[in-house]
Amino acid sequence: MAKVKGDIIIDIEKCKGCELCTDACPQETLGLSSKLNSKGYHYVVKVKDNCTGCINCALVCPEGIIKVFRKTLKKIESMAATSNVNDNITFAVRP
């Protein structure tokens, strides 16, 4: 089965630090920053690189400031191999 890798982007200037997203994250990927944004709030940041792209954080965010991206990491399989080639060869690659 293919492994799913996710990533998130948080608009930290609009984040009010409610921490609903940190509670909703099953991977514990998010945490509260010790720094303040321009509005004086501690904002949420990614503290671990283990996001699966489940979108729970984006669904519970009352400000709608979290974007979630997901990609599937497929296992690389060998499709062809050549050895001792002495002449022209034509390959057909399947998608």
Gap between the Cα atoms of 32 and 47, Å rounded: 9
**Domains of the chain by range and CATH?**
3-71 (3.30.70.20)
Q: Which range is most confident: 2-16, 29-43, 67-81?
A: 29-43
DSSP 8-state symbol, 74: P
Alpha carbons within 13 A on the beta-carbon side of 8? 30
H or E element, residue 57:
helix 56-60
| pTM higher than the cut 0.85 | no
Q: Per the structure block, which two tokens stand in for 2?
A: 């293919």
- pLDDT at residue 90 greater than cutoff 90: no
